[in-house]
Structure 1
Amino acid sequence: MAPTIPREQMAALFQPRSVAFIGASESSGFFRISWDLVERFGARARTHLINPRTANVFGQPAYERCVDVPGGVDCAYIMVHRGMVAQAVEDAAAAGARSAVVLSAGYAETGPEGARAQDALVAQCREAGITLLGPNMLGFANVAAGVAAGALPGIQPRRGQVALVSQSGAGAGSLTRFAATHGIALSFAVTTGNEAMVTAEDVLDYLIDDDDTRAIAVFAETLRQPALFREVARRAAAARRALVILKVGSSDLSARTALAHTGALVGDDAVIDAVFRQDAVLRVDHLEELLHTANLAAATGPWRSPGVGVVSLSGGACDVVADRAEEVGLPLPALSARTEQDLAAVVSDLGHVQNPLDVTGAGMSDLSLLPRAAEIVASDPRVGFVAVIGGRPTPAPMPAIAKALQSAGAPGAYVATVDSALDEETAQVLAECELLYLPSIRDAMTAMARVSWWGRRLTELDHQSADASGDLTASSSDPTASSGDLTATTRTVVAGSPLSEAEVRDLLRSAGVPVVPADFVSTRAQAVEAAVRFGVPVALKAVSRDLAHKSDVGGVRLDLRDATQVGEAYDAIFDGIAVAAPAAHVDGILVSPMRTGGIELIVGVTHHPGWGHVLAVGLGGVLVEVIRDTVLLPLPAGDDEIRRALHSLRAAPLLRGTRGRPPVDLPSLVTAIRAIADLATALGDSIDTLEINPLLVGRDVVEALDGLLTWRGGSGSPRS
């Protein structure tokens, strides 16, 4: 998907030659913070102050209007009351401005009147050819270019590799302060506010190609352009640039649960989580974790191996690491025999050689011990990253630790046992020797776990791409390759028209989904004949487009074991529906053999308004919403992804075979799931839910026992 704002316009916004500060005033807190940033960046020469009421602000000359600035202005940084913004934009446009950064509040965030004012502001900017960032935000800072047009405190002029993008201005201000005290250098900091024109996705699209940025930390409340976000995420993965996001706010799309279980399992936040996993986006839970994870990923890139080696001065710290690693999913590999042998020569008197490694307090008296042990651990091929754990960081040991890690060729970090901010001297030493710092075991463990997962996911995507490029394996690995031509199958389906269960069964079968055998009958005698042909026990189900839940009106009879029971059940279904739902038209009865044993799964596809078709696979049956053992996959998804999804279920041991139960036919199961996914996708965006619950699986059986198709707007097929 093409970005909504062309790249040249984004460049005009973020790389202006001159910036006009409209509303510059010594009494404004926003201006004071902004001017401090200008002075930190040494950007006075490109910054022009606009204030019609005074000729001087903080010793700088002030102009009455933008048009008075010699040579004009490229970017207008507007800090005035909402009622004065339109005039400021007009003045800036007359001075040649191509972009406007509007801090002013009182727009769409306040209600309908503010929304109308925001629409008028956007229209004015579009007519003037101005790219608008904001309103209701704190601006931006381009550290590499030395451009300061934001009220963002604490940003240091030291060029970094982490870009911060935040929809929250206050959140961004807290994060820039935090970065300054924890040795995290930024390449960019951008707030987007109301996103009247430029959205967070537009900023990400621009930054993913920025040469100075290796990771982007995103604090998002909403994602307005899902398709563009996914495109940016895929480009980031291909470029080995980390996209780290703290996405706050979640709500369930519960309107469809009256007809389908899938709707209860596929809420907004669950879908976003699945999208992030599929596209190798690192999702975090806390603000501090956002910056630490981005900083780690930017400094190291994906590791050669997902495992982490730990060297510590404290046995207690090693115990904390071991416990926490299992909780966050961080691999702590056993060391190779060669590594253990080399370590034994260094720490032979200090206890057991293992990972995590405790060099004990001897490392305090012999400052060479910790670096030597770290270098040996870093040389282990099973280790992709080394965490060197000690007390509050001081300058003295850092160069030796950095040199040891660099000699071994594996990235690493110094980790403080408890959260410790850096003093200026230590921060300077760490920067000079290029040693990464993580301020606590807690923060280090979560950041390392995220980056380790990121590397593993990138490897999976590489294999997926490589498989898809080969003719022999494209059908099983390429997520865009359909399981068959479904044009003829879907041609007769009219979007929005309800289908009976018999019609849904025919649709599934024609798409290649195995369905339990059934006969459609319209007389009592035919029902008995079908039961004899299948062999008892059998099940009888009413066929009617008018019944949403057939079992609620007596439309389902199970476990019928002789001809008499079948005949009586046939009559009882019609009699019961005539009383419970007299307006319902019953087309006939489906007779099918009862199935026992096996494992009941749910396989459903729903269409999310922002993210498209989403596949849900999990443990099914009547307790599906209680057990909630389900995994989501945005479509398209290849067979390998479906297989991994099945193995990620808590019920996966049942599928693999356990306690004397045989394993299920996994290849046939994956094929059936892929066929269901392809059918749902072929039915288009009008579909709400296509659901099979249950899909019975066993050693030699994969069968859909019940099917449901609903359309957006509420109409759909009945279910049992």
Structure 2
Amino acid sequence: MTAVVTPQRLREFFHPRSFALIGASDKSTFSALLYRNLVAAGHGEVTYLVNRRSDQVHGRRAYASCRDIGCPVDLAFVMVPAPAVGDALRDAAAAGVRSALVLSSGYAEAGEEGRRRQRELVELAAELDLLLLGPNVLGFTNVAAGVPAMVLADPPTTPGGVALISQSGASCGAMKDFAALAGVELSYVITVGNEAMITVGHLIDYLVDDEHTRAIAVFMEGIREPEVFAAAARRAAEAGKAVVVLKAGRSELAARTAASHTGALVGDDRVVDAVFARHGVIRVDTIESMLVTAGVAAHTGPLARPGVGVVSISGGACDILADLAQAAGAALPEFTAETTERLRTVMPSYGSVHNPLDITGAAILDPSLWEEAVAAVGNDPNVGVVVAVNSLPWRDSSEPFYGQKYVNAIGAGAARSAAPVLYLTQVTQPIGAQARAVLDEGGVAHVVPGLHLGITALAHLARWSQDREQILREVVPPPRRIRDMDPVPLSEVAVRALLEEAGVPVVPARHVHSAEEAEAAARAFGGRVAMKIVSADLPHKSDVGGVRLNVDAAAAAASYDSLLAECTAKAPHARLDGVLVSPMRDTGLELLVGVTRDPQWGLVLAVGLGGVFVEVLDDVALTPLPVSPDRIRALVESLRGAALMHGVRGQQAADLAALSATVSAVGRLAEELGPRLESLEINPLRVAGDRIEALDALITWRDAAPAAVGKESRAC
């Protein structure tokens, strides 16, 4: 159904030259807003009003149908009730229209009947070769092309580098207004509503190639067509265009609200975080952070280095920024000796040279201090971006701004800086016409209103820049093959064989079928052993008394008999296949390594420290498959308990390269097991230096075939 959503069709969609407003009405605020926007942008003569009950709307002639217009129409904006939308689309297509926006609600957001209606809408649009945005959508503005096909007041008119996409139409109004207040200039404003045909992923993919767009800000409640979204996000990262997402659904209540609002699919939020990290998506928590971060990214692009250099006339601002940087994880590197010496030659004798740099009140008397400091810091090899903290006018005034000479000096320093320079105000304030004029006169390209928003944006951007480099370098080994396996329950012995074949080391073990064999195995291992019942029907052996630990050789025979007796009593229909005997492992670090199938994103790998770290601290890192050993190592290093793997209190440090290779092999095995795999779990994976062993493992299947039952199938 979505085969018609191509970049060429989207370019045609967002560059219409004529418009039909179907359902235009003097009684409709939506109709009045849309008509006013199009007329104000100079499209009045090519905007046609369609109303089958009235021949005049908004003081203009109205047509009974699109076919009556008699002129080519590129874009239809449908504003009729849901039951009439189908006829409106048929009429538009008959008149040669190829693109349509559907304002009407009552579709997937309205329950099962609405979802059925939406499916039929998409089928009809595809049949008519109509590209459809919506339903339940307020339209879009292509700022550079001067097309405000949007049911929101005051669409932006000054083109910029940030494309704004929103699943919520009402929230989009507040977003575009804040962007104007914060000095973030937009290339597009696009609402997507229910994304019945055109999804956020399609739009990101289109905007990657848009010459006006340098960063993309997205508000979403759910992710449709995950593969399209992931591929588009990765392409944006490769192109150096940051995708900054504010996604609702972290809380259970927010997820329920999102589902009821748009009918969207809201996946597990931690999996979404993992997908975003994997494909270079910056996730933020507020509208303000989303727009400011995207604005900074559009100005700087990927940072060559993560370090932030700060130049300020306020010592207090320096202190605040130092605290904010530490909290946000932004790096304020030390200046090199050369930079320090260069700054000392221009700084007053009572000033000190370090990052953040307080150039003191001396800059009031000598504005050139601003220029020299910004230039010196911006050319320090440790600095990837410079922020100059200074004031701007709050209100538009006919009086010249007293600080224009300081802004000019900052702009002159920025022109001499190798690193991009941002102008940063101390508090969140409106960037009005006079403030913008002051910056333009000074040659300052970008401003961020407020210390917190600024340093948070730079921390996001620095991490994204580093993640992007990893994405560009990553080489993922392909799975060797898809194994042709029946989805039947597997015993631990069978799972161990699969792991060994895949290159995953397992703890030595002997599969025994008598008490005498159990005792011989225990003596051969030369110490205490673990004994576990073998049964494909008992995935959780300890629940039925199927595990004995710290068994010495003298007790192994009796333990064998007691294991079988207890499991027979507690699980009389389970097929038993003897016992697995393996040496006890008392030292080393235990990890949980698992792969599970997410309904949206497919196979997802989880790595975490075992025991209390998983159960209490929830210390687990996730990533979708496929994955490279390098990324696995980064995941392991990201765990809160990662320091334990570097060796503490005499413990042997883990061989992280070997560990990463082992976990990578687990991921490849999961891929090889094919689409019927539900989960593969190793718990625990023991790590003691370079000795890595799977101590226990379990595989489960989707729609697994039922196990055979009955005592006649029992084997010992």
Tell me which of 632, 636, 647 is aligned to 2:622: 632
Tell me which of 485, 490, 493 is aligned to 1:499: 490
Does 2:618 align with 1:608? Answer: no
- The corresponding residue for 1:214 is 214
What SS does structure 2 have at the residue aligned with 1:408?
coil
For the structure 1 residues 290 and 127, does the alpha-carbon distance in structure 2 shift closer, same or farther, using more than 3 Å as the test? same
- The corresponding residue for 1:540 is 531
Conservation of the 8 A alpha-carbon contact between 2:647 and 2:653: yes
For the structure 1 residues 622 and 332, does the alpha-carbon distance in structure 2 shift closer, same or farther, using more than 3 Å as the test? closer
Greater shift, 398-407 or 33-42, is seen at 33-42
Cα deviation per residue 1:440-498 (whole Å; 9 max; x = unaligned)? 1111111111111121122223333xxxxxxxxxxxxx21345xx466xx44x32x200
What SS does structure 2 have at the residue aligned with 1:346?
coil
Conservation of the 8 A alpha-carbon contact between 1:141 and 1:148: yes
Aligned counterparts of 1:623 and 1:666: Cα–Cα separation in 2: 19
For the structure 1 residues 354 and 154, does the alpha-carbon distance in structure 2 shift closer, same or farther, using more than 3 Å as the test? farther
Does 2:706 align with 1:709? Answer: no
Does 2:464 align with 1:454? Answer: yes
- The corresponding residue for 2:398 is none
Report sequence identity in percent.
Answer: 46
| Letter paired with 2:472 | D
Q: How does 1:373-452 map to 2 (within 5 A)?
A: 373-393=373-393, 396=404, 397-430=406-439, 433-452=443-462
Aligned counterparts of 2:435 and 2:251: Cα–Cα separation in 1: 44
- The corresponding residue for 1:81 is 81
Q: How does 1:551-590 map to 2 (within 5 A)?
A: 551-563=542-554, 565-590=555-580
Conservation of the 8 A alpha-carbon contact between 1:333 and 1:383: yes
Conservation of the 8 A alpha-carbon contact between 1:522 and 1:589: yes
Deviation at 1:529, TM superposition (A): 0.7
What SS does structure 2 have at the residue aligned with 1:480?
coil
| Letter paired with 2:455 | M
Conservation of the 8 A alpha-carbon contact between 2:539 and 2:698: no
For the structure 1 residues 402 and 53, does the alpha-carbon distance in structure 2 shift closer, same or farther, using more than 3 Å as the test? farther
Cα deviation per residue 1:38-89 (whole Å; 9 max; x = unaligned)? 2453333432333456665555554443333342311111223334433432
For the structure 1 residues 76 and 268, does the alpha-carbon distance in structure 2 shift closer, same or farther, using more than 3 Å as the test? same
Conservation of the 8 A alpha-carbon contact between 1:621 and 1:693: no
Deviation at 1:409, TM superposition (A): 3.1
Tell me which of 663, 669, 675 is aligned to 1:679: 669
| Letter paired with 1:5 | V
Does 2:477 align with 1:480? Answer: yes
Aligned counterparts of 2:423 and 2:612: Cα–Cα separation in 1: 51
Does 2:120 align with 1:153? Answer: no
Aligned counterparts of 2:267 and 2:60: Cα–Cα separation in 1: 54
Greater shift, 77-86 or 201-210, is seen at 77-86
Does 2:685 align with 1:688? Answer: no
- The corresponding residue for 1:662 is 652
For the structure 1 residues 527 and 412, does the alpha-carbon distance in structure 2 shift closer, same or farther, using more than 3 Å as the test? same
For the structure 1 residues 407 and 268, does the alpha-carbon distance in structure 2 shift closer, same or farther, using more than 3 Å as the test? same
- The corresponding residue for 1:320 is 320
Does 2:518 align with 1:527? Answer: yes
| Letter paired with 1:571 | D
For the structure 1 residues 575 and 114, does the alpha-carbon distance in structure 2 shift closer, same or farther, using more than 3 Å as the test? closer
For the structure 1 residues 673 and 189, does the alpha-carbon distance in structure 2 shift closer, same or farther, using more than 3 Å as the test? same
| Letter paired with 2:462 | S
For the structure 1 residues 390 and 209, does the alpha-carbon distance in structure 2 shift closer, same or farther, using more than 3 Å as the test? same
Does 2:311 align with 1:311? Answer: yes
What SS does structure 2 have at the residue aligned with 1:101?
strand
Deviation at 1:2, TM superposition (A): 9.4
For the structure 1 residues 716 and 622, does the alpha-carbon distance in structure 2 shift closer, same or farther, using more than 3 Å as the test? farther
| Root mean square deviation of aligned Cα | 2.4
TM-score of the two chains, using structure 1 as the length reference: 0.90
Aligned counterparts of 1:622 and 1:541: Cα–Cα separation in 2: 23
Aligned counterparts of 1:459 and 1:554: Cα–Cα separation in 2: 50
| Letter paired with 1:460 | Q
Conservation of the 8 A alpha-carbon contact between 1:4 and 1:202: no
Cα deviation per residue 1:210-259 (whole Å; 9 max; x = unaligned)? 1111111111111111111121122112211111111211489xxxxxxx
Aligned counterparts of 1:267 and 1:632: Cα–Cα separation in 2: 14
Deviation at 1:267, TM superposition (A): 7.2
- The corresponding residue for 2:229 is 229
Cα deviation per residue 1:401-422 (whole Å; 9 max; x = unaligned)? 2232122232121111111012
Conservation of the 8 A alpha-carbon contact between 1:709 and 1:716: no
Conservation of the 8 A alpha-carbon contact between 2:302 and 2:465: yes
Aligned counterparts of 2:34 and 2:193: Cα–Cα separation in 1: 17
Aligned counterparts of 1:382 and 1:2: Cα–Cα separation in 2: 47
Deviation at 1:149, TM superposition (A): 1.1
For the structure 1 residues 334 and 40, does the alpha-carbon distance in structure 2 shift closer, same or farther, using more than 3 Å as the test? farther
Conservation of the 8 A alpha-carbon contact between 1:499 and 1:716: no
Q: How does 1:286-365 map to 2 (within 5 A)?
A: 286-365=286-365
Conservation of the 8 A alpha-carbon contact between 1:708 and 1:716: no
- The corresponding residue for 1:278 is 278
Q: How does 1:27-38 map to 2 (within 5 A)?
A: 27-38=27-38
Conservation of the 8 A alpha-carbon contact between 2:4 and 2:131: no
Aligned counterparts of 2:543 and 2:157: Cα–Cα separation in 1: 69
Aligned counterparts of 1:226 and 1:298: Cα–Cα separation in 2: 25
What SS does structure 1 have at the residue aligned with 2:466?
helix
What SS does structure 1 have at the residue aligned with 2:380?
coil
Conservation of the 8 A alpha-carbon contact between 2:625 and 2:667: yes
Residue ranges of structure 2 left out of the alignment (5+ in a row): 253-265, 395-400, 708-716
Conservation of the 8 A alpha-carbon contact between 1:311 and 1:388: yes
For the structure 1 residues 267 and 703, does the alpha-carbon distance in structure 2 shift closer, same or farther, using more than 3 Å as the test? farther
Deviation at 1:27, TM superposition (A): 3.9
- The corresponding residue for 1:105 is 105
Aligned length: 684
For the structure 1 residues 192 and 390, does the alpha-carbon distance in structure 2 shift closer, same or farther, using more than 3 Å as the test? same
Conservation of the 8 A alpha-carbon contact between 1:251 and 1:268: no
| Letter paired with 2:193 | G
Conservation of the 8 A alpha-carbon contact between 1:153 and 1:176: no
Cα deviation per residue 1:71-118 (whole Å; 9 max; x = unaligned)? 231111122333443343233223221111111122221223333333
Aligned counterparts of 1:113 and 1:455: Cα–Cα separation in 2: 45
Aligned counterparts of 1:25 and 1:535: Cα–Cα separation in 2: 89
Aligned counterparts of 2:184 and 2:439: Cα–Cα separation in 1: 11
Aligned counterparts of 2:175 and 2:3: Cα–Cα separation in 1: 27
What SS does structure 1 have at the residue aligned with 2:106?
coil
For the structure 1 residues 154 and 354, does the alpha-carbon distance in structure 2 shift closer, same or farther, using more than 3 Å as the test? farther
For the structure 1 residues 481 and 114, does the alpha-carbon distance in structure 2 shift closer, same or farther, using more than 3 Å as the test? closer
For the structure 1 residues 586 and 54, does the alpha-carbon distance in structure 2 shift closer, same or farther, using more than 3 Å as the test? closer
What SS does structure 1 have at the residue aligned with 2:345?
helix
Aligned counterparts of 2:251 and 2:594: Cα–Cα separation in 1: 20
Deviation at 1:518, TM superposition (A): 0.9
